[in-house]
């Protein structure tokens, strides 16, 4: 299973976005991930794998790639890094290719009630337990499972008294002021799941490619060098911002008028690597390629062996790699004039 998770904004003037991860096939000791080539750019993420079936029998199962729960309340009350057309079925333009042939994807759309303080759960906990499935309950009362916040609001206000009371009791909707139904809001989140049935032939290598739009958390971002404020020190620790990178960020974000400070945009690009540990053994060869998109942008992450390979690209290569931590990447972008 792979999952994109909601992450916190880096600034008050920010928008919610997604954490990304790779494919898993359930915990297995029968199929090994021999190679993984991961490419992360500001706009898109792509992954190429080679898997080997270690047994003399075919192994078949479901490969799943779900988006994280997207809270409907957030879509109404805040900003979220979603496509302009939130009604398109393939929301993240997810594509999969196996041994050179495009995969016919199935896409499920679910409504869930998230557990309390779900944002405090680890990424693996979030995608293992996305919440209580209330899809059928919404359908029973005529509510659509869509990412149209205005539509959800209007449908809730039009509920019959009986449906309103039933959904309030179930926690599917909430009432801001405990009034008579005039301040109702959606309390559910939407989960989209891409999946297909995959067979790994006995003793054979299977090549899998998938790619999708990168829509991380981000927002207006200010910086000072050296960082003195506690929240900036936390960012520096989280993304391993050293002296040279701190200087580069301050320079990139500097405004023509020094009194304006150093500010621009920042994107928090997270990628969960540890799902690779569900396959048999370590990854024999792992390559990460980062593209910061523009030479003026600045990128920082906690990783050993980062090599600059071009004006905007960097690589990290590992052999016999067992991920013990996930990627957290800070991409800083100067503000437009």
Domain boundaries, the chain: 5-134+188-222+263-334
Take residue 86 and report the two structure tokens written for it: 């939130």
Predicted pLDDT at 247: 96
In the chain, what's the furthest Cα-to-Cα distance? 69
Q: Is the pLDDT of residue 24 over 70?
A: no
Predicted pLDDT at 6: 32
Is the distance from CB of 318 to CB of 283 less than 8 angstroms?
yes
Q: Residue 199: how many CB atoms within 10 A of its CB?
A: 13
Predicted pLDDT at 25: 64
What is the average pLDDT across 175-182? 61
Predicted pLDDT at 261: 76
Residue 227's closest CA among 219, 217, 218, 237?
Answer: 237
> For the chain, what percent of residues have pLDDT higher than 90?
58
Distance between CA atoms of residues 122 and 2, nearest Å: 14
Q: First-to-last CA distance in the chain?
A: 42
Residue 24's closest CA among 265, 255, 278, 273?
Answer: 278
Distance between CA atoms of residues 182 and 279, nearest Å: 51
Distance between CA atoms of residues 214 and 10, nearest Å: 17
On average, the pLDDT of the chain sits at 86
Q: Residue 305: how many CB atoms within 10 A of its CB?
A: 9
Distance between CA atoms of residues 57 and 206, nearest Å: 14
DSSP letter string over 155-200? HHHT--HHHHHHHHHHTSEEETTS-SSTTEEE--EEEEEEEEEEEE
Q: Is the pLDDT of residue 70 over 90?
A: no
Q: Which helix (H) or strand (E) holds 253?
A: helix 243-253
- Dump pLDDT digits (tens) for 274-299: 767 778 889 999 999 999 999 999 99
The CA distances from residue 241 to 217, 235, 299, 307, in Å, are 19, 8, 9, 16
* Range 5-134+188-222+263-334 has CATH code 2.60.40.3680: yes
Q: Is the pLDDT of residue 62 over 90?
A: no
Predicted pLDDT at 10: 32
Band (pLDDT 50/70/90 cuts) for residue 150 is confident
Q: What is the DSSP letter of 304?
A: S
CA dihedral sign, ordered 132, 172, 94, 12: negative
DSSP letter string over 69-99? PEEHHHHHHS-B---S-TT-SSTT--EEEET
Q: What are the two backbone dihedrals, phi and then psi, of residue 109, each rounded to the nearest 5 degrees?
A: -125, 115
Predicted pLDDT at 11: 33
Lowest mean pLDDT among 47-51, 80-84, 182-186, 298-302: 182-186
Residue 38's closest CA among 301, 310, 291, 280?
Answer: 291
Distance between CA atoms of residues 239 and 232, nearest Å: 11
Is the distance from CB of 22 to CB of 63 less than 8 angstroms?
no
Take residue 1 and report the two structure tokens written for it: 């299973």
Is the distance from CB of 131 to CB of 112 less than 8 angstroms?
yes
């Amino acid at each position: 299973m792979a999952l994109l998770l909601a992450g916190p904004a880096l600034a008050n003037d920010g928008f919610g976005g997604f954490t990304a991860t790779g494919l898993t096939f359930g915990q297995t000791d029968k199929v090994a991930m021999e190679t993984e080539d991961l490419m992360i750019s500001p706009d898109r993420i792509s992954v190429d794998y080679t898997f080997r079936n270690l047994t003399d029998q075919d192994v078949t199962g479901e490969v799943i790639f779900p988006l994280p729960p997207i809270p409907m309340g957030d879509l109404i009350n805040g900003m979220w890094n979603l496509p302009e057309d939130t009604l398109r079925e393939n929301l993240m333009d997810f594509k999969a290719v196996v041994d050179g042939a495009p995969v016919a994807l199935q896409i499920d759309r679910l409504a869930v009630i998230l557990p309390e303080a779900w944002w405090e759960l680890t990424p693996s906990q979030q995608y293992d337990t996305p919440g209580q499935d209330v899809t059928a309950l919404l359908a029973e009362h005529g509510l659509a499972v869509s990412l149209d916040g205005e539509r959800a609001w209007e449908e809730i206000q039009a509920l019959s008294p009986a449906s309103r009371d039933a959904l309030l009791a179930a926690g599917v909707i909430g009432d801001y002021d405990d009034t008579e139904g005039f301040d109702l809001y959606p309390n559910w989140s939407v989960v989209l799941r891409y999946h297909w049935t995959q067979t790994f032939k006995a003793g054979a290598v299977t090549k899998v490619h998938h790619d999708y739009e990168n829509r991380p958390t981000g927002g207006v971002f200010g910086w000072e060098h050296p960082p003195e404020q506690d929240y900036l020190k936390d960012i520096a620790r989280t993304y391993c911002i050293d002296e040279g990178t701190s200087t580069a960020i301050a320079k990139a974000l500097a405004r023509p008028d020094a009194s304006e400070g150093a500010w621009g945009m920042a994107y928090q690009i997270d990628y969960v690597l540890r799902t690779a540990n569900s396959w048999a053994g370590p990854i024999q060869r792992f390559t990460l390629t980062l593209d910061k998109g523009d030479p003026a942008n600045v990128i920082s992450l906690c990783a050993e062996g980062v090599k600059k390979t071009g004006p905007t690209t960097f690589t990290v290569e590992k052999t016999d790699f067992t991920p013990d931590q996930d990627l957290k990447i800070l991409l800083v972008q100067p503000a437009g004039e």
